[in-house]
Structure 1
Amino acid sequence: MPATPSQQGVDAVSERTQNRTKSERRLAAQLAAQKAAEAKRRRQAWAGGLAGLAVVAVLVTVFVIVAQRNDDDAAPQAGAPSASAAVDDPAAAPTAPPAPQLPEGADPALATKPTVKAGTGDLKKLTVTPLIKGTGPAVKAGQTISTNYVGVFYKDGKEFDASWNSGQPVSFPIGVGQVIKGWDQGLVGVTVGSRVQLDIPADLAYGDSGEGGRPAGPLRFVVDVLAAQ
Protein backbone atom coordinates (compact mmCIF):
# COMPACT_ATOMS: atom_id res chain seq x y z
CA MET A 1 0.00 0.00 0.00
CA PRO A 2 1.52 3.43 -0.97
CA ALA A 3 2.60 5.72 1.88
CA THR A 4 0.36 8.47 2.96
CA PRO A 5 1.48 12.11 2.77
CA SER A 6 1.98 12.21 6.51
CA GLN A 7 4.07 9.10 6.42
CA GLN A 8 6.18 10.56 3.64
CA GLY A 9 6.84 13.65 5.70
CA VAL A 10 8.00 11.57 8.66
CA ASP A 11 10.36 9.60 6.44
CA ALA A 12 11.82 12.78 4.97
CA VAL A 13 12.49 14.25 8.42
CA SER A 14 14.06 10.99 9.55
CA GLU A 15 16.33 10.96 6.49
CA ARG A 16 17.41 14.56 7.08
CA THR A 17 18.08 13.76 10.70
CA GLN A 18 20.25 10.81 9.73
CA ASN A 19 22.14 12.89 7.17
CA ARG A 20 22.76 15.63 9.72
CA THR A 21 23.99 13.09 12.25
CA LYS A 22 26.41 11.67 9.69
CA SER A 23 27.69 15.18 8.87
CA GLU A 24 28.15 15.97 12.52
CA ARG A 25 30.08 12.74 13.01
CA ARG A 26 32.30 13.49 10.04
CA LEU A 27 32.93 17.00 11.38
CA ALA A 28 33.65 15.66 14.83
CA ALA A 29 36.07 13.13 13.33
CA GLN A 30 37.79 15.88 11.33
CA LEU A 31 38.10 18.08 14.42
CA ALA A 32 39.48 15.19 16.41
CA ALA A 33 42.00 14.45 13.66
CA GLN A 34 43.05 18.09 13.58
CA LYS A 35 43.48 18.18 17.35
CA ALA A 36 45.52 14.97 17.26
CA ALA A 37 47.76 16.38 14.51
CA GLU A 38 48.20 19.63 16.43
CA ALA A 39 49.09 17.72 19.59
CA LYS A 40 51.61 15.64 17.66
CA ARG A 41 53.19 18.79 16.22
CA ARG A 42 53.43 20.28 19.70
CA ARG A 43 55.08 17.10 21.02
CA GLN A 44 57.56 17.08 18.16
CA ALA A 45 58.36 20.75 18.68
CA TRP A 46 58.83 20.16 22.41
CA ALA A 47 61.07 17.16 21.79
CA GLY A 48 63.11 19.16 19.27
CA GLY A 49 63.51 21.98 21.78
CA LEU A 50 64.71 19.58 24.46
CA ALA A 51 67.18 18.03 22.05
CA GLY A 52 68.50 21.47 21.16
CA LEU A 53 68.91 22.35 24.83
CA ALA A 54 70.74 19.07 25.42
CA VAL A 55 73.17 19.82 22.59
CA VAL A 56 73.80 23.32 23.94
CA ALA A 57 74.39 21.92 27.44
CA VAL A 58 76.93 19.40 26.10
CA LEU A 59 78.78 22.11 24.17
CA VAL A 60 78.91 24.39 27.20
CA THR A 61 80.22 21.54 29.37
CA VAL A 62 82.96 20.70 26.85
CA PHE A 63 83.95 24.35 26.61
CA VAL A 64 84.21 24.67 30.39
CA ILE A 65 86.33 21.50 30.67
CA VAL A 66 88.71 22.61 27.91
CA ALA A 67 89.03 26.09 29.41
CA GLN A 68 89.76 24.63 32.84
CA ARG A 69 92.45 22.32 31.44
CA ASN A 70 94.07 25.23 29.63
CA ASP A 71 94.11 27.23 32.87
CA ASP A 72 95.65 24.28 34.73
CA ASP A 73 98.34 23.89 32.07
CA ALA A 74 99.15 27.57 32.14
CA ALA A 75 99.29 27.87 35.93
CA PRO A 76 102.66 26.12 36.48
CA GLN A 77 104.24 28.22 33.75
CA ALA A 78 103.14 31.39 35.45
CA GLY A 79 104.05 30.30 38.97
CA ALA A 80 107.39 28.55 38.49
CA PRO A 81 109.80 27.87 35.69
CA SER A 82 109.48 24.52 33.93
CA ALA A 83 111.95 21.86 34.14
CA SER A 84 113.06 22.43 30.53
CA ALA A 85 113.61 26.15 31.19
CA ALA A 86 115.85 25.36 34.19
CA VAL A 87 118.00 23.03 32.08
CA ASP A 88 118.21 25.50 29.18
CA ASP A 89 119.34 28.32 31.51
CA PRO A 90 122.91 27.60 32.68
CA ALA A 91 122.59 30.07 35.56
CA ALA A 92 119.44 28.34 36.84
CA ALA A 93 120.91 24.82 37.00
CA PRO A 94 124.65 24.64 37.70
CA THR A 95 126.14 21.35 36.59
CA ALA A 96 128.74 19.27 38.41
CA PRO A 97 132.09 18.65 36.72
CA PRO A 98 132.03 15.50 34.60
CA ALA A 99 133.51 12.30 36.02
CA PRO A 100 137.07 11.61 34.82
CA GLN A 101 137.79 9.05 32.13
CA LEU A 102 139.27 6.14 34.06
CA PRO A 103 141.75 3.60 32.67
CA GLU A 104 140.39 0.13 31.94
CA GLY A 105 140.02 -1.96 35.08
CA ALA A 106 140.62 1.01 37.41
CA ASP A 107 139.11 1.21 40.87
CA PRO A 108 135.75 3.10 40.63
CA ALA A 109 136.89 5.18 43.64
CA LEU A 110 139.08 7.17 41.24
CA ALA A 111 135.88 8.74 39.88
CA THR A 112 135.34 10.53 43.21
CA LYS A 113 137.32 13.45 44.60
CA PRO A 114 139.23 12.30 47.70
CA THR A 115 139.05 13.96 51.11
CA VAL A 116 142.53 15.09 52.15
CA LYS A 117 143.34 15.86 55.78
CA ALA A 118 146.28 17.61 57.44
CA GLY A 119 149.45 15.78 58.34
CA THR A 120 150.98 15.39 61.79
CA GLY A 121 154.43 16.22 63.12
CA ASP A 122 157.33 17.82 61.26
CA LEU A 123 157.76 16.71 57.67
CA LYS A 124 161.45 16.24 56.91
CA LYS A 125 161.46 14.04 53.80
CA LEU A 126 159.34 13.04 50.82
CA THR A 127 156.86 10.35 51.76
CA VAL A 128 154.87 8.40 49.15
CA THR A 129 151.86 6.50 50.52
CA PRO A 130 149.89 4.24 48.12
CA LEU A 131 146.12 4.61 48.67
CA ILE A 132 144.90 2.63 45.65
CA LYS A 133 147.19 0.26 43.75
CA GLY A 134 146.71 0.49 39.99
CA THR A 135 147.14 -2.44 37.62
CA GLY A 136 148.59 -0.48 34.69
CA PRO A 137 152.23 -0.02 33.64
CA ALA A 138 154.68 1.86 35.86
CA VAL A 139 155.32 5.52 35.06
CA LYS A 140 158.75 6.21 33.54
CA ALA A 141 160.74 9.45 33.58
CA GLY A 142 160.15 11.44 30.41
CA GLN A 143 156.59 10.22 29.92
CA THR A 144 153.62 12.56 29.89
CA ILE A 145 151.14 11.57 32.56
CA SER A 146 147.49 12.53 33.04
CA THR A 147 146.47 13.12 36.66
CA ASN A 148 143.75 14.30 38.97
CA TYR A 149 144.99 15.80 42.22
CA VAL A 150 144.10 17.65 45.42
CA GLY A 151 146.68 19.85 47.14
CA VAL A 152 146.46 20.98 50.79
CA PHE A 153 148.76 22.60 53.32
CA TYR A 154 150.38 19.84 55.33
CA LYS A 155 149.93 21.56 58.69
CA ASP A 156 146.24 22.55 58.56
CA GLY A 157 144.75 20.56 55.64
CA LYS A 158 143.44 23.70 53.90
CA GLU A 159 142.99 23.09 50.18
CA PHE A 160 144.86 25.45 47.86
CA ASP A 161 144.43 23.71 44.51
CA ALA A 162 142.57 20.78 42.88
CA SER A 163 142.11 19.65 39.30
CA TRP A 164 138.69 18.29 40.35
CA ASN A 165 137.33 21.83 40.60
CA SER A 166 137.61 22.33 36.84
CA GLY A 167 136.57 18.79 35.95
CA GLN A 168 139.64 18.31 33.73
CA PRO A 169 142.67 16.11 34.48
CA VAL A 170 146.09 17.78 34.19
CA SER A 171 148.80 16.39 31.90
CA PHE A 172 152.54 17.14 32.12
CA PRO A 173 155.94 15.49 31.54
CA ILE A 174 157.28 13.75 34.64
CA GLY A 175 160.84 13.30 35.86
CA VAL A 176 162.28 16.04 33.63
CA GLY A 177 162.01 19.15 35.82
CA GLN A 178 158.67 20.43 34.49
CA VAL A 179 156.99 20.11 37.92
CA ILE A 180 158.11 20.40 41.54
CA LYS A 181 160.76 17.94 42.71
CA GLY A 182 158.36 16.17 45.03
CA TRP A 183 156.21 15.19 42.03
CA ASP A 184 159.16 14.27 39.80
CA GLN A 185 160.60 12.01 42.49
CA GLY A 186 157.38 10.71 43.96
CA LEU A 187 155.43 9.75 40.82
CA VAL A 188 158.07 7.96 38.76
CA GLY A 189 157.49 4.23 39.24
CA VAL A 190 153.81 4.59 40.27
CA THR A 191 151.54 2.31 38.22
CA VAL A 192 148.72 3.72 36.07
CA GLY A 193 145.39 3.51 37.88
CA SER A 194 146.97 4.27 41.27
CA ARG A 195 146.06 6.89 43.86
CA VAL A 196 149.01 8.01 45.98
CA GLN A 197 149.51 10.49 48.78
CA LEU A 198 152.62 12.68 48.45
CA ASP A 199 153.86 14.42 51.62
CA ILE A 200 156.41 16.92 50.31
CA PRO A 201 158.72 19.05 52.47
CA ALA A 202 159.07 22.71 51.54
CA ASP A 203 162.47 22.29 49.84
CA LEU A 204 160.94 19.80 47.36
CA ALA A 205 157.82 21.95 46.84
CA TYR A 206 157.68 25.75 46.48
CA GLY A 207 159.86 26.74 49.43
CA ASP A 208 158.97 28.56 52.62
CA SER A 209 158.54 32.10 51.28
CA GLY A 210 155.39 31.71 49.17
CA GLU A 211 156.72 34.04 46.47
CA GLY A 212 154.44 34.72 43.52
CA GLY A 213 151.38 33.57 45.46
CA ARG A 214 152.61 29.99 45.57
CA PRO A 215 151.76 27.80 48.58
CA ALA A 216 154.56 27.92 51.13
CA GLY A 217 155.82 25.28 53.52
CA PRO A 218 155.30 21.52 53.47
CA LEU A 219 152.44 20.29 51.29
CA ARG A 220 150.29 17.18 50.92
CA PHE A 221 148.95 16.01 47.54
CA VAL A 222 146.66 13.10 46.71
CA VAL A 223 147.32 12.24 43.06
CA ASP A 224 145.44 9.84 40.74
CA VAL A 225 147.56 8.60 37.83
CA LEU A 226 145.10 8.07 34.95
CA ALA A 227 147.44 7.57 31.99
CA ALA A 228 151.11 7.61 30.95
CA GLN A 229 152.59 7.77 27.47
Structure 2
Amino acid sequence: MTERTDLLSKAEKRAAVKAAKARAARAAQRRRVLTTVGAAVAVFAVIAALAILVVRYGGSSDPAASPSVAATEAPFPPVPEGADPALSKKPDVKAGGGTLTSLVKTTVIEGTGPAAAAGQSITVNYVGVTYADGKEFDASWDHKQAFTFSLGGGQVIKGWDQGLVGIKVGSRVQLDIPPALAYGENPTGGQPAGALRFVVDVLAAQ
Protein backbone atom coordinates (compact mmCIF):
# COMPACT_ATOMS: atom_id res chain seq x y z
CA MET A 1 0.00 0.00 0.00
CA THR A 2 2.84 2.39 0.76
CA GLU A 3 4.36 1.98 -2.73
CA ARG A 4 0.95 2.62 -4.36
CA THR A 5 0.51 5.73 -2.26
CA ASP A 6 3.94 6.99 -3.26
CA LEU A 7 3.14 6.43 -6.96
CA LEU A 8 -0.10 8.37 -6.69
CA SER A 9 1.68 11.18 -4.88
CA LYS A 10 4.25 11.48 -7.67
CA ALA A 11 1.50 11.49 -10.30
CA GLU A 12 -0.38 14.16 -8.43
CA LYS A 13 2.78 16.22 -8.15
CA ARG A 14 3.40 15.95 -11.88
CA ALA A 15 -0.24 16.93 -12.53
CA ALA A 16 0.10 19.85 -10.17
CA VAL A 17 3.31 21.00 -11.91
CA LYS A 18 1.64 20.63 -15.30
CA ALA A 19 -1.40 22.57 -14.12
CA ALA A 20 0.85 25.29 -12.72
CA LYS A 21 2.69 25.57 -16.02
CA ALA A 22 -0.61 25.76 -17.86
CA ARG A 23 -1.80 28.52 -15.56
CA ALA A 24 1.47 30.39 -16.07
CA ALA A 25 1.14 30.04 -19.85
CA ARG A 26 -2.42 31.33 -19.76
CA ALA A 27 -1.36 34.26 -17.58
CA ALA A 28 1.45 35.10 -20.00
CA GLN A 29 -0.96 34.94 -22.91
CA ARG A 30 -3.37 37.26 -21.10
CA ARG A 31 -0.54 39.72 -20.52
CA ARG A 32 0.36 39.64 -24.22
CA VAL A 33 -3.27 40.22 -25.16
CA LEU A 34 -3.57 43.10 -22.71
CA THR A 35 -0.35 44.61 -23.99
CA THR A 36 -1.59 44.39 -27.59
CA VAL A 37 -4.95 45.88 -26.67
CA GLY A 38 -3.24 48.67 -24.73
CA ALA A 39 -1.03 49.51 -27.71
CA ALA A 40 -4.06 49.50 -29.99
CA VAL A 41 -5.92 51.84 -27.64
CA ALA A 42 -2.92 54.19 -27.56
CA VAL A 43 -2.70 54.21 -31.37
CA PHE A 44 -6.45 54.86 -31.61
CA ALA A 45 -6.13 57.76 -29.16
CA VAL A 46 -3.37 59.34 -31.27
CA ILE A 47 -5.44 58.92 -34.45
CA ALA A 48 -8.49 60.43 -32.75
CA ALA A 49 -6.44 63.41 -31.54
CA LEU A 50 -5.10 64.02 -35.05
CA ALA A 51 -8.61 63.79 -36.47
CA ILE A 52 -9.81 66.43 -34.01
CA LEU A 53 -6.95 68.72 -35.04
CA VAL A 54 -7.74 68.21 -38.73
CA VAL A 55 -11.39 69.11 -38.18
CA ARG A 56 -10.59 72.06 -35.94
CA TYR A 57 -7.74 73.60 -37.89
CA GLY A 58 -8.58 72.70 -41.48
CA GLY A 59 -6.03 69.97 -42.05
CA SER A 60 -3.13 71.28 -39.98
CA SER A 61 -2.01 70.39 -36.48
CA ASP A 62 -0.66 73.92 -36.15
CA PRO A 63 -3.26 76.24 -34.53
CA ALA A 64 -1.62 79.17 -36.32
CA ALA A 65 -2.90 77.68 -39.57
CA SER A 66 -6.50 77.96 -38.42
CA PRO A 67 -8.51 80.22 -40.76
CA SER A 68 -9.77 82.10 -37.70
CA VAL A 69 -6.19 82.93 -36.73
CA ALA A 70 -4.09 83.06 -39.89
CA ALA A 71 -6.47 83.95 -42.71
CA THR A 72 -7.66 87.37 -41.62
CA GLU A 73 -9.66 89.54 -43.97
CA ALA A 74 -7.66 92.28 -45.74
CA PRO A 75 -8.39 95.72 -44.28
CA PHE A 76 -10.30 98.30 -46.29
CA PRO A 77 -9.23 100.72 -47.48
CA PRO A 78 -5.59 99.63 -47.98
CA VAL A 79 -4.13 102.96 -46.83
CA PRO A 80 -0.35 103.20 -47.45
CA GLU A 81 1.87 103.09 -44.38
CA GLY A 82 2.51 106.58 -43.05
CA ALA A 83 -0.28 108.17 -45.11
CA ASP A 84 -2.77 110.68 -43.75
CA PRO A 85 -5.41 108.86 -41.66
CA ALA A 86 -8.07 110.86 -43.52
CA LEU A 87 -7.65 108.41 -46.40
CA SER A 88 -9.40 105.81 -44.27
CA LYS A 89 -12.67 107.79 -44.45
CA LYS A 90 -14.92 108.31 -47.46
CA PRO A 91 -14.80 111.94 -48.62
CA ASP A 92 -17.89 114.09 -48.87
CA VAL A 93 -17.94 115.35 -52.46
CA LYS A 94 -19.92 118.44 -53.39
CA ALA A 95 -21.08 119.86 -56.72
CA GLY A 96 -18.91 122.23 -58.73
CA GLY A 97 -19.74 125.71 -59.95
CA GLY A 98 -19.80 127.39 -63.33
CA THR A 99 -19.02 125.88 -66.70
CA LEU A 100 -16.17 123.39 -66.86
CA THR A 101 -14.24 123.39 -70.13
CA SER A 102 -10.87 121.90 -69.14
CA LEU A 103 -9.43 119.39 -66.70
CA VAL A 104 -8.81 120.85 -63.25
CA LYS A 105 -6.71 119.03 -60.64
CA THR A 106 -6.90 120.06 -56.99
CA THR A 107 -4.74 118.35 -54.38
CA VAL A 108 -6.76 117.77 -51.21
CA ILE A 109 -4.10 115.74 -49.36
CA GLU A 110 -0.47 115.68 -50.49
CA GLY A 111 1.05 112.20 -50.24
CA THR A 112 4.70 111.40 -49.60
CA GLY A 113 5.05 108.34 -51.83
CA PRO A 114 6.40 108.09 -55.37
CA ALA A 115 4.57 109.89 -58.17
CA ALA A 116 2.34 107.75 -60.37
CA ALA A 117 3.61 107.43 -63.93
CA ALA A 118 1.98 106.40 -67.19
CA GLY A 119 2.32 102.65 -67.74
CA GLN A 120 2.20 101.83 -64.04
CA SER A 121 -0.51 99.77 -62.37
CA ILE A 122 -2.13 102.01 -59.78
CA THR A 123 -4.67 101.31 -57.08
CA VAL A 124 -7.18 103.96 -56.08
CA ASN A 125 -10.28 104.67 -54.05
CA TYR A 126 -12.73 107.12 -55.56
CA VAL A 127 -16.07 108.89 -55.34
CA GLY A 128 -17.69 110.17 -58.53
CA VAL A 129 -20.46 112.80 -58.72
CA THR A 130 -22.01 114.85 -61.48
CA TYR A 131 -20.35 118.25 -61.52
CA ALA A 132 -23.51 120.30 -61.84
CA ASP A 133 -25.51 118.89 -58.91
CA GLY A 134 -23.11 116.72 -56.87
CA LYS A 135 -25.20 113.56 -57.34
CA GLU A 136 -23.08 110.50 -56.62
CA PHE A 137 -23.11 107.88 -59.37
CA ASP A 138 -20.26 105.58 -58.33
CA ALA A 139 -17.85 104.99 -55.43
CA SER A 140 -15.36 102.22 -54.72
CA TRP A 141 -16.08 102.81 -51.04
CA ASP A 142 -19.57 101.39 -51.48
CA HIS A 143 -18.13 98.15 -52.93
CA LYS A 144 -15.42 98.04 -50.22
CA GLN A 145 -12.90 97.24 -52.94
CA ALA A 146 -10.20 99.54 -54.28
CA PHE A 147 -9.82 99.83 -58.06
CA THR A 148 -6.61 98.89 -59.90
CA PHE A 149 -5.85 99.78 -63.53
CA SER A 150 -3.01 100.62 -65.90
CA LEU A 151 -2.50 104.39 -65.91
CA GLY A 152 -2.46 105.87 -69.39
CA GLY A 153 -3.56 102.61 -70.99
CA GLY A 154 -7.04 103.72 -72.03
CA GLN A 155 -8.76 101.50 -69.47
CA VAL A 156 -10.45 104.50 -67.86
CA ILE A 157 -11.75 107.88 -69.02
CA LYS A 158 -9.20 110.36 -70.36
CA GLY A 159 -9.69 112.64 -67.40
CA TRP A 160 -8.25 109.92 -65.14
CA ASP A 161 -5.44 108.90 -67.51
CA GLN A 162 -4.33 112.52 -67.74
CA GLY A 163 -5.25 113.78 -64.28
CA LEU A 164 -3.59 111.07 -62.16
CA VAL A 165 -0.16 111.17 -63.81
CA GLY A 166 2.33 112.69 -61.38
CA ILE A 167 0.07 112.32 -58.32
CA LYS A 168 2.02 110.94 -55.37
CA VAL A 169 1.00 107.73 -53.60
CA GLY A 170 -0.86 108.66 -50.42
CA SER A 171 -2.51 111.69 -52.04
CA ARG A 172 -6.18 112.60 -52.30
CA VAL A 173 -6.91 114.63 -55.42
CA GLN A 174 -10.06 116.19 -56.82
CA LEU A 175 -10.48 115.88 -60.59
CA ASP A 176 -12.99 118.17 -62.33
CA ILE A 177 -13.43 116.63 -65.75
CA PRO A 178 -15.17 118.24 -68.74
CA PRO A 179 -17.50 116.06 -70.88
CA ALA A 180 -14.90 115.62 -73.64
CA LEU A 181 -12.57 113.87 -71.18
CA ALA A 182 -15.37 111.93 -69.47
CA TYR A 183 -18.31 110.13 -71.13
CA GLY A 184 -19.55 113.03 -73.27
CA GLU A 185 -22.81 114.90 -73.23
CA ASN A 186 -24.98 112.01 -74.41
CA PRO A 187 -23.32 108.73 -73.41
CA THR A 188 -24.84 105.28 -73.98
CA GLY A 189 -24.75 102.37 -71.59
CA GLY A 190 -25.88 104.21 -68.49
CA GLN A 191 -22.76 106.35 -67.91
CA PRO A 192 -23.27 109.81 -66.40
CA ALA A 193 -23.48 112.69 -68.86
CA GLY A 194 -21.74 116.04 -68.82
CA ALA A 195 -18.96 117.28 -66.58
CA LEU A 196 -17.93 115.08 -63.65
CA ARG A 197 -16.12 115.50 -60.37
CA PHE A 198 -14.06 112.71 -58.84
CA VAL A 199 -12.21 112.63 -55.55
CA VAL A 200 -9.49 109.99 -55.91
CA ASP A 201 -7.13 108.53 -53.31
CA VAL A 202 -3.94 107.08 -54.83
CA LEU A 203 -3.10 104.08 -52.66
CA ALA A 204 -0.35 102.33 -54.66
CA ALA A 205 1.63 102.59 -57.90
CA GLN A 206 4.02 100.03 -59.34
Q: Does 1:207 align with 2:192?
A: no
Supply the AA of the counterpart residue of 2:98.
Answer: G
Shift of 1:99: 3.1
**Greater share of helix:** 1
Equivalent residue for 2:82, pick from 98, 105, 120: 105
- Over residues 39-67 of structure 1, what are the superposed CA-to-partner deviations in whole Å (9 max), with x where a residue is unaligned? xxxxxxxxxxxxxxxxxxxxxxxxxxxxx
Unmatched tracts of structure 1, length 5 or more:
1-97
Q: Note the 1:144-159 alignment, pairs <5 A.
A: 144-159=121-136
Q: Which residue of 2 aligns with 1:162?
A: 139
Percent of aligned pairs sharing the same letter:
69
| In 2: Cα distance, 1:156 partner to 1:210 partner | 18
- The runs of 4+ residues in structure 1 deviating greater than 2 Å are none
Equivalent residue for 1:189, pick from 166, 177, 181: 166
Supply the AA of the counterpart residue of 2:79.
Answer: L
Shift of 1:207: 0.4
Shift of 1:187: 0.1
| In 1: Cα distance, 2:78 partner to 2:195 partner | 30
Structure exhibiting the larger radius of gyration computed from Cα positions: 1
Residues matched between the structures, number: 133
TM value normalised by structure 2: 0.63
Q: Does 1:118 align with 2:134?
A: no
| In 2: Cα distance, 1:101 partner to 1:172 partner | 16
- Over residues 91-149 of structure 1, what are the superposed CA-to-partner deviations in whole Å (9 max), with x where a residue is unaligned? xxxxxxx6311111100000000000000000010000000000000001000100000
SS of alignment partner, residue 189 of structure 2: helix
| In 2: Cα distance, 1:104 partner to 1:135 partner | 10
| In 2: Cα distance, 1:130 partner to 1:224 partner | 10
Supply the AA of the counterpart residue of 2:199.
Answer: V
Equivalent residue for 2:115, pick from 112, 132, 138: 138
SS of alignment partner, residue 184 of structure 1: helix
| In 2: Cα distance, 1:193 partner to 1:150 partner | 16
| In 1: Cα distance, 2:199 partner to 2:96 partner | 12
